[in-house]
């Protein structure tokens, strides 16, 4: 079995908001990239024998007393190092250069001029480059052996390098789209400086993952919590390819799913993918447990506990039928791993939003996480390569508690049905205009516990309000409200008021994140 992670790039995270974006940009070039905390153990960082290192940005100043510093072992490896923004400053500081506050800080768009010459980092680029800056410090004196490779109005060393050792630094962010030729700069570092190979692809990943799954589980059965979302769906398809009928998928219908989703899950995974699927309709149990509850955090806790109880009961039944079940599969993806770990020195945890954390002590599972090395866009590419339909692969994110956090106030079957119907209409109108897949990142309806006066025909009405929410984002860490065409909003509003009983007003949420969140609860 070939480990596709061997010979990639190790990214050290000094606290930048763009660190995961660096990894995504590297992988887009077919090179595996893995993120580590800047204070991670050397043997962990070098576990997959990276060909080079990238140092991320940071909100710190390198000369502050508690600022993170360059790990000494990186210099001892003799491998190339590429510092981005703070990473460049950390490299400078460690090698004896001088970093100081800049007289003129640079934030946002800027122009750099590179010096040309024998410089692999800027090979093939135009002399003048539009870049994205975000720094208050600058290099005053580079370390011995380094030369200036580019300058800007505020930075005499907007880029520097020591080609003999393969050490480079840039004061700007090549990973963001605002840096016009940033991808080419990264490519030059990956292939010309580090000598990486472009071997990371969906097809190669599938072959590697299938071999890894078979090696881990042997002849045992694997239990999968299937939500119907993209991550668990792709994990299920991958496991099905690897072990076939020894996969047992459990799908719990909480009653909080979108219109027709329970039926779609059964059709796709049982009828089309031929996965051994057990579908459990626990709607009444969830509604009983949630009766009278209006606090959003209490809703989440009740739903989480009810899900665990339902899933654990099914696991015990299956153990009684098949004997000991050793393995539990999850759709954990790479951002979950980074977010859950927080630091390389912390132990691996099961994220609560996967709904299987906190299982009873009598259920002892070893985790199978075939997607834990992938970003969301890579998961979608793998799902397509595995033959999953677009309706599953491109399904927009959906919170674990489902419509419970979009139905504000008390949860009743009638109010959930009202929300389900309105949400379906909104998504239908977006789909009709091609906006559900490419125009928006997340779009949904929210039912408010507010009644307003309206007029229908000659009659006065006093009914509930639907809020529509649609956002655009690359990473879901920040988001902007989608500027949807007025015609789309008008049709959605008209249809909802006319077709959904109990609703007489529709509003559109134009709040960005921050200050708001994407979900309402």
Active centre residues (catalytic): 85, 173, 175
Name the token pair of 107. Answer: 């934030």
52, β-bridge pairs? 9
CA distance from start to end of the chain: 45
Instruction: Name the region of 472 (left: φ>0; alpha: ψ -120 to 50; beta: rest).
Output: beta
Length of the chain: 521
Answer for the pair 261, 234: CB distance below 8 angstroms, yes or no.
no
Query: Hey, which bits of 215-344 come out as E strands?
Result: 222-225, 247-253, 277-281, 327-329
Rounded to whole angstroms, how far apart are CA atoms 13 and 20?
Answer: 9
Rounded to whole angstroms, how far apart are CA atoms 370 and 327?
Answer: 12
Query: Hey, which bits of 75-158 come out as E strands?
Result: 81-84, 98-114, 128-141, 147-151
Name the token pair of 313. Answer: 């009961």
Handedness of CA 333, 335, 339, 341 (dihedral sign): positive
463, β-bridge pairs? 452
How much of the chain is in helix, strand and coil states, percent to nearest 5?
Answer: 35, 25, 40
The angle formed by the CA atoms of residues 72, 78 and 82, to the nearest 5 degrees, is 75
Name the token pair of 346. Answer: 């912390």
DSSP codes joined into one string, 14-82: SS-TTHHHHHHHHHHTT--EEEEETT--HHHHTTT--SEEEE---SS-TTSTT-----HHHHHHT--EE
Rounded to whole angstroms, how far apart are CA atoms 202 and 125?
Answer: 30
Answer for the pair 234, 381: CB distance below 8 angstroms, yes or no.
no
Residue 299: asked if its preceding bond is cis (omega within 30°), the reply is no
- Nearest Cα neighbor of 382 from 228, 238, 208 is 238
Rounded to whole angstroms, how far apart are CA atoms 28 and 482?
Answer: 26
Element (H, E) at 438: none
Rounded to whole angstroms, how far apart are CA atoms 59 and 135?
Answer: 9
Answer for the pair 425, 487: CB distance below 8 angstroms, yes or no.
no
């Amino acid at each position: 079995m070939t480990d596709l992670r061997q010979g990639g790039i190790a990214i050290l995270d000094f606290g930048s908001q763009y660190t995961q974006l660096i990894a995504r940009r590297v992988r887009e070039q077919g090179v595996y990239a893995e993120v580590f905390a800047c204070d991670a153990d050397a043997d962990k960082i070098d576990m997959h024998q990276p060909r080079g290192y990238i140092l991320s940005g940071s909100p710190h100043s390198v000369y502050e007393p508690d600022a993170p510093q360059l790990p000494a072992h990186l210099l001892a490896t003799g491998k190339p190092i590429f510092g981005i923004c703070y990473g460049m400053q950390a490299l400078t500081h460690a090698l004896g250069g001088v970093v100081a506050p800049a007289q003129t800080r640079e934030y946002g768009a800027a122009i750099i001029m590179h010096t040309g010459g024998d410089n692999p980092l800027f090979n093939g680029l135009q002399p003048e480059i539009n870049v994205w800056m975000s720094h208050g410090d600058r290099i005053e004196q580079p370390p011995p052996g380094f030369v200036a490779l580019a300058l800007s109005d505020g930075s005499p060393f907007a880029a520097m390098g020591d080609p003999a050792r393969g050490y480079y630094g840039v004061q700007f962010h090549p990973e963001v789209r605002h840096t016009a030729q940033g991808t080419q700069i990264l490519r030059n570092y990956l292939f010309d400086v580090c000598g990486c190979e472009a071997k990371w692809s969906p097809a190669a990943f599938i072959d590697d993952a299938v071999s890894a799954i078979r090696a881990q589980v042997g002849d045992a059965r694997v239990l999968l919590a299937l939500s119907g979302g993209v991550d668990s769906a792709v994990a299920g398809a991958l496991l099905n390819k690897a072990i076939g009928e020894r996969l047992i998928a459990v799908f719990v219908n909480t009653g909080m799913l979108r219109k027709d989703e329970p039926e779609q899950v059964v059709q796709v995974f049982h009828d089309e993918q031929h996965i051994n699927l057990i579908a459990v309709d626990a709607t009444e149990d969830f509604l009983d447990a949630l009766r009278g509850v209006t606090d959003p955090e209490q809703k989440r806790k009740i739903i989480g506990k009810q899900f665990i109880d339902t899933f654990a009961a099914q696991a015990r039944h299956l153990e009684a039928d098949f004997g000991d079940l050793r393995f539990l599969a999850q759709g954990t993806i790479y951002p979950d791993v980074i977010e859950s770990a927080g630091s390389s020195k912390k132990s691996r945890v099961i994220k609560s939003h996967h709904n299987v954390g906190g299982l009873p002590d009598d259920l002892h599972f070893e985790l199978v996480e075939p997607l834990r090395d992938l970003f969301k866009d890579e998961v979608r590419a793998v799902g397509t390569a595995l033959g999953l339909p677009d309706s599953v692969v491109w399904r927009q994110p959906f919170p674990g508690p489902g419509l419970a956090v979009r139905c504000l106030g008390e949860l009743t079957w009638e109010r959930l049905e009202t929300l389900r119907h309105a949400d379906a209409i909104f998504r239908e109108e977006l789909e009709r205009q091609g906006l559900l897949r490419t125009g928006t990142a997340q779009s949904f309806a929210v039912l408010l516990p507010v009644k307003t006066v309206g007029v229908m025909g000659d009659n006065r009405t006093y009914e509930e309000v639907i809020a529509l929410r649609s956002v655009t984002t690359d990473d879901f860490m920040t988001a902007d409200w989608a500027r949807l065409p007025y015609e789309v909003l008008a049709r959605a509003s008209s249809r909802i008021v006319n077709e959904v009983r109990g609703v007489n007003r529709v509003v559109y949420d134009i709040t960005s994140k921050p200050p708001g969140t994407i979900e309402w609860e």
